[in-house]
Chains A and B, each alone.
Chain A
């Protein structure tokens, strides 16, 4: 099983899902992000621009990550949801409760108060 890498951008954690997501990989991401959030962070970004299907299992995992992060690390922003995925979620009746969404990674960074300039300045 290939775990999804998590990057630290200053005090923000970034996970970018660029691979086929089996249930085990999604659960490992939940565990890894929660542990890293507990170790100290001010926000979490999950980039799902590479994800072509969000079903109720993945939606639940994303909501649970956000719920844990809210207590440990502030807000979670889900970035880059494809329009076809968003339309499907609406038709299915699945709302991503408690999740902030942003159109792109850079919108997500700004939402967490981290403009691109600031990140470059920090690295």
Chain B
């Protein structure tokens, strides 16, 4: 395995959501993502970072470049907020406990190649996603 490059960013304000989008865009460009592939990953990151901030009370994002050819990207969003009691409900379109459209979690899942969520009441929430450009080697979470 080649060494993994990890970047960690705080997600505690709306300006940092925008910073997270920029960092993911740069990583996706470096990994050879097409414009549409970049846009899908950055949009997913924007949704998940906003959830970290709005629902999780703030946390951080980690960007990891991985795979033998260094073309896969894994993003991890972590908070120690209230957690999600019913993940299936939270993933369904239109479900929100706030003011949102309820499309962030389900929408983000549709925009990435791999999606995993680790959460529970009182446990905080960690969402991990991974994508790679078409033709690159598949990466695992």
A9, CB-defined interface residue at 8 Å: no
Interface residues of B in 93-121 (CB under 8 A from A): 93, 100-101, 103-104, 106-108, 110-111
Given contact pairs A84-B35, A85-B39, A20 touches B18 in the complex (Cβ within 8 A): yes
Indicate if the CB atoms of A93 and B103 lie closer than 8 Å. yes
Contact, CB under 8 Å: A91 / B101: no
How many A-B residue pairs lie within 8 Å, measured between CB atoms?
68
Chain A residues within 8 Å of B22, by CB: 20
Q: Which residues of chain A come closer than 8 Å to B101, judged between CB atoms?
A: 56, 59-60, 94
Q: Which residue of B lies closest to A60 (CB)?
A: B101
Residues on B with beta carbons closer than 8 Å to the beta carbon of A23: 14, 17, 50
B66 contacts the other chain (CB 8 A): no
Which residues does chain B contribute within 8 Å of A117, judged by CB atoms? none
Q: Known contacts being A87-B36, A93-B93, is A53 close to B110, with CB within 8 Å?
A: no
**Which A39-83 residues have C-beta < 8 A from chain B?**
52-57, 59-60, 83
List B contacts of A88 (CB < 8 A). 36, 39-40, 43, 111
Interface residues of A in 86-105 (CB under 8 A from B): 87-88, 91-94
Chain A residues with a Cβ under 8 A of chain B: 20-24, 52-57, 59-60, 83-85, 87-88, 91-94
Of the A-B pairs whose beta carbons lie under 8 Å apart in the complex, a sample of 28, sorted by A's number, is: A22-B15, A23-B14, A23-B50, A52-B42, A53-B21, A53-B42, A55-B43, A55-B104, A56-B47, A56-B103, A56-B107, A57-B46, A60-B100, A83-B36, A84-B36, A84-B38, A84-B39, A87-B39, A88-B39, A88-B43, A88-B111, A91-B110, A91-B111, A92-B107, A92-B111, A93-B93, A93-B103, A93-B106
Chain B interface residues toward A at CB < 8 A: 14-15, 17-18, 21-22, 25, 35-36, 38-40, 42-43, 46-47, 50, 93, 100-101, 103-104, 106-108, 110-111
